[in-house]
C-alpha cells in the first residue's frame, strides 16, 4: 500500500493533501477505489432523501436556509406527505429513508417521534436515517427508541478557529462533537462530514478533519464542495472544486475503509460528472431526492442545486445507468455499515 493514511500525523496529512491539491495523483484515487471494492464490492447503495422542513433556528453563515435569510419560502411537510414520499420510495425499491430538515422548533420530540414511529410501523424492514441537527441527549434517545437507526450530523470543520468563522457565537465545535459522540453511544450509525474549500479553510484544517474522523470512527462521512448561496454572508465566496473534493473523498476512504461515503448532491451540482467521479474516488452511496417537486427548489442550501434528472427519484433509471457506466452496480438493500 502506498498511502498509510491511518498512521500519518497532522503535518504528514497536510503534505499529502497539499501535493494532491497541486497535482492530483491518480494512484491515490485508484487505491481508494480498490479498497472500497475490497470491502463493499462494486455496490452503490441508494437512499431516498426526504427534505422534511426548511425552517431553521440556526444562522450558519454559509447555509441558504439559515434563519436570517428572509428570501427563503419556508415549508414543512405534513406527516401524511412524508409517508406518501416513503410509499413512493418504497415502491421504487428504496429500503433506506433519510429524513432531513433544518433545526425546526416546530418539529419537537413529540412530533418527530410520531413521524418516525409511523414510518417504522409501515416499513419494519427499512432503515430510517435522521438529519435534524443538534439536540439534547434525551431527544436523540427518544428518536432512536421510536425507530430511527442512523443520524447524519456533519461536524463541518474540526478546527475551532475555522468553526467560529463559519458559525455564529451560539454554536461551538465542542458541542457539535459532543452530539456526535452521544449519538454513537446511543447506538445510532453516525455520519460526520465537512465541506471542501469552505471559506477561510486551510489545508491544515482539512488535515484536522481527517484526524477527527480517525478519532470518531463514524459509520458514514458526508463530504461535498462548499457552494455559495447568494443571500448568505458568504454568498460571494468561491465554490469548491471537484478535484479537491475527490481528493478528500479518496483520503477518507483510505482512512476509514468500511465507511459509507455518499457522492453528494453538491458534487453533482458543481460538475455534470461530479457524481460519477465521486464514486470512482471511493464513494459508495447516492441519495436521490424523494421530496415533492415543489419543495425541492425551496430546500436550497446553496445556489444551482441539482434536483431533477439523475438526482431525483423520477430519474432512477437514468441514475442506475450512470452508476453502471461509472463501473458500479446500484444496490437497493438497506446497506448498513459492514460492522453494524
Ligand atoms: N455549500 C455546500 N454545502 C452546504 N451545506 C450547507 N450549506 C452549504 C453550502 N453553501 C451542507 C452542510 C450541512 C449539510 C446539510 O449541507 O455541510 O451539514
The answer to whether 7 touches 254, Cβ cutoff 8 Å, is no
Determine the 3-state secondary structure of 280 from DSSP.
Answer: helix
Best of 103, 195, 209, 228 to mutate for ligand 1, by most ligand atoms within 8 A of CB? 195
Q: Is residue 164 part of a domain?
A: yes
**Residue 225, phi then psi, degrees to nearest 5:** -70, 145
Q: Is residue 12 part of a domain?
A: yes
Q: Is residue 338 part of a domain?
A: no
Amino acid 338: pLDDT: 87
| Residue 235 CA, ligand 1 centroid: distance in Å | 12
**Residue 53, phi then psi, degrees to nearest 5:** -160, 140
| Residue 107 CA, ligand 1 centroid: distance in Å | 20
Contacts of 305 (CB under 8 A, 6+ apart): 227, 265, 266, 269, 299
- DSSP H helical ranges for the chain: 10-22, 26-40, 79-92, 109-122, 137-145, 160-166, 173-186, 203-216, 242-255, 265-270, 274-280, 293-296, 316-326
Q: Which three cell numbers stand for residue 181?
A: 459522540
Please report, for the domain that includes residue 321, its CATH number: 3.20.20.70
Q: Is residue 148 part of a domain?
A: yes
Q: Is residue 340 part of a domain?
A: no
Q: What is the pLDDT along the chain (340 residues), one digit of tens a residue?
A: 578 999 999 999 999 999 999 998 899 999 999 999 999 999 999 999 999 999 999 999 999 999 999 999 999 999 999 999 999 999 999 999 999 999 999 999 999 999 999 999 999 999 999 999 999 999 999 999 999 999 999 999 999 999 999 999 999 999 999 999 999 999 999 999 999 999 999 999 999 999 999 999 999 999 999 999 999 999 999 999 999 999 999 999 999 999 999 999 999 999 999 999 999 999 999 999 998 888 888 898 998 888 766 667 778 998 999 999 999 999 999 999 988 7
Amino acid 310: pLDDT: 66
Domain that holds residue 262: 5-331
Q: Is residue 251 part of a domain?
A: yes
Best of 101, 131, 302 to mutate for ligand 1, by most ligand atoms within 8 A of CB? 302
pTM of the entire predicted model: 0.97
Number of domains composing the chain = 1
Amino acid at each position: 500500500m502506498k498511502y498509510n493514511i491511518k498512521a500519518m500525523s497532522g503535518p504528514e496529512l497536510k503534505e499529502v493533501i497539499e501535493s494532491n491539491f497541486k497535482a492530483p495523483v491518480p494512484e491515490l484515487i485508484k487505491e481508494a477505489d480498490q479498497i472500497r471494492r475490497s470491502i463493499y464490492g462494486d455496490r452503490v447503495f441508494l437512499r431516498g432523501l426526504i427534505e422534511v422542513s426548511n425552517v431553521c433556528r440556526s444562522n450558519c453563515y454559509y447555509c441558504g436556509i439559515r434563519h436570517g435569510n428572509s428570501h427563503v419560502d419556508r415549508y414543512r411537510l405534513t406527516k401524511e406527505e412524508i409517508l406518501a414520499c416513503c410509499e413512493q420510495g418504497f415502491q421504487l425499491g428504496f429500503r433506506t429513508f433519510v429524513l432531513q430538515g433544518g433545526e425546526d422548533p416546530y418539529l419537537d420530540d413529540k412530533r418527530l417521534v410520531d413521524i418516525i414511529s409511523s414510518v417504522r410501523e409501515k416499513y419494519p424492514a427499512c432503515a430510517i436515517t435522521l438529519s435534524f441537527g443538534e439536540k439534547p441527549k434525551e431527544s436523540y434517545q427518544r428518536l432512536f427508541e421510536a425507530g430511527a437507526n442512523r443520524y447524519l450530523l456533519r461536524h463541518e470543520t474540526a478546527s475551532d478557529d475555522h468553526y467560529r468563522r463559519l458559525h455564529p457565537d451560539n454554536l461551538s465545535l465542542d458541542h457539535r462533537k459532543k452530539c456526535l459522540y452521544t449519538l454513537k453511544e446511543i447506538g445510532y450509525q453516525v455520519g460526520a462530514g465537512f465541506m471542501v474549500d469552505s471559506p477561510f479553510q486551510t489545508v491544515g484544517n482539512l488535515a484536522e478533519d481527517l484526524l477527527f474522523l480517525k478519532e470518531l470512527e463514524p459509520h458514514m462521512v458526508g463530504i461535498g464542495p462548499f457552494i455559495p448561496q447568494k443571500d448568505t454572508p458568504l454568498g460571494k465566496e468561491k465554490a469548491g472544486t471537484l478535484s479537491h473534493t475527490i481528493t478528500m473523498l479518496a483520503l477518507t476512504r483510505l482512512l476509514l475503509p468500511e465507511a459509507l461515503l455518499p457522492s453528494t448532491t453538491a458534487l453533482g451540482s458543481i460538475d455534470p460528472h461530479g457524481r460519477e467521479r465521486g464514486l470512482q474516488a471511493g464513494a459508495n452511496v447516492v441519495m436521490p431526492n424523494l421530496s415533492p417537486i415543489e419543495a425541492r427548489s425551496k430546500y436550497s442550501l446553496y445556489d444551482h442545486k441539482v434536483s431533477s434528472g439523475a438526482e431525483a427519484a423520477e430519474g432512477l433509471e437514468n441514475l442506475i445507468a450512470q452508476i453502471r457506466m461509472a463501473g458500479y452496480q446500484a444496490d437497493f438493500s438497506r446497506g448498513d455499515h459492514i460492522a453494524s
